[in-house]
A = this chain, B = another copy of it.
Amino acid sequence: MLTPEWPRESEASYTETPMCRFTLYLGPPVVLDTLLIQPSHSLIRQSYHSTERAEPMNADGFGVGWFAPRLNPEPGVFHSITPAWNNLNLASLAKVVASPCVLAHVRAASPGSEVNLANCHPFRYGRYLLMHNGRLGGFRKARRRILETLTDEAFGVVRGSTDTEHLMALFVDEIVRHGGDGHGPAEDEGFDGALELATRLTEALARALQVAHEVGDGEPSFLNVAVSDGERAAVTRFGNATREGPETLYVHRGEIYEPAHRRFTQRRPYDEGAAVVVSSERLTEDPAWAAVPPNQVVAVRRGEPPRILPLGDDARILDAQPEAGGEVSVSRA
């Protein structure tokens, strides 16, 4: 009988740090297939062959969350632990579901790490959806301390063991501490509502980074995080590594998106039909995609141009004076 030495499980980890990919859409109702599958470089195709990362695969499950505001103020989610590209349910429902707000995520877990439904993005709390591309440095040590800081309501959100779920709990904690309850439809508060959402999100990230800084060993964090309530969205591009920038993030802005030749094309300026897409990678070859600069947060309100606000080293918004500026300029990629 061959008798190998048995390595502890921790040894079994491979060296790569896999990252995920996500796409957020806010606009007129879009058929999911049109957004997630048909574009030449759609998220589902990214799950098969990502072009902007050395490691091309995002095959450890996926998730799609979408809003159907006429039916339910709270969104639905569809999660799977199989790769997105071969999931027959996803392919089928994507052709018969349209939505004015979609968050989709393909996951690249570390080989050997846990892949189960409880760990699939986007995470949902009431009317909020949240998804993440990256990692919180030192999470293993920070996890416990993060839990200790939570209200009971936010603590109850944590059902699995990933860093993202703890970021979600911190976000819920921020909502609850500011008097929100997350349930029922979103109220319209103008663009201030989008800024408020961005503030809640970045405060949550700042708290996570603070704990990681106190208890961790200095591992860098990569926090591209998207959150939405169906009418507003906030998406960060953040990293604090010294040698490499944060994960990529792009915004498609200023035009309605229509699927022609499986690409989005530009038609008209912002109006009630305007749509915004924020995505880890450009979904099409359309030149209208703009790269979000490092350490910024994109704030979006339905029907308005997105604004991009700078973040400090602690991930907090540096200057969120909505009355002071108009649309923050987006540099072309």
Contact = CB atoms under 8 A, between A and B. Distances in A.
B56 A59 contact: no
A57 B140 CA distance: 29
A94 B92 CA distance: 15
A116 B115 contact: no
Contacts of A2: 28-31, 34, 98, 257-259
Contact of A160 (B76, B92, B112, B159): B159
Contacts of A96: 66-68, 71-72, 75-76
Interface in A28-49: 28-31, 33-34, 38, 48
Interface stretch (A77-85, A167-175, A201-209, A306-314): A77-85
A1 interface: yes
A160 to B, nearest CB: 6
Interface centre among A71, A73, A258 (most CB of B within 10 A): A71
Contacts of A113: 86
A147 interface: yes
Contact of A161 (B66, B70, B158, B258): B158
A143 to B, nearest CB: 8
B74 A6 contact: yes
A75 to B, nearest CB: 7
Nearest to A70: B1
Contact of A6 (B73, B81, B117): B73
B89 A79 contact: yes
A81 B87 CA distance: 10
A88 interface: yes
Contacts of A333: none
A4 interface: yes
The bracket for how many chain A residues form the interface is 35 or more
B56 A31 contact: no
A13 interface: no
A95 B76 contact: yes
A320 interface: no
A202 to B, nearest CB: 26
A144 interface: yes
Contact of A56 (B56, B66, B257): B56
Contacts of A75: 96
A97 interface: yes
B112 A118 contact: no
Contact of A144 (B81, B155, B183): B155
A244 interface: no
Q: Which of A79, A86, A144 has the most CB of B within 10 A?
A: A86
Given A111-B85, A144-B155, A160-B159, A92 B76 contact: yes
A97 B98 contact: no
Contacts of A78: 89, 92-93
A322 to B, nearest CB: 30
A233 to B, nearest CB: 18
Interface in A238-285: 257-259
10 contacts: A1-B98, A2-B29, A2-B98, A59-B59, A76-B96, A76-B97, A86-B111, A114-B117, A144-B155, A159-B161
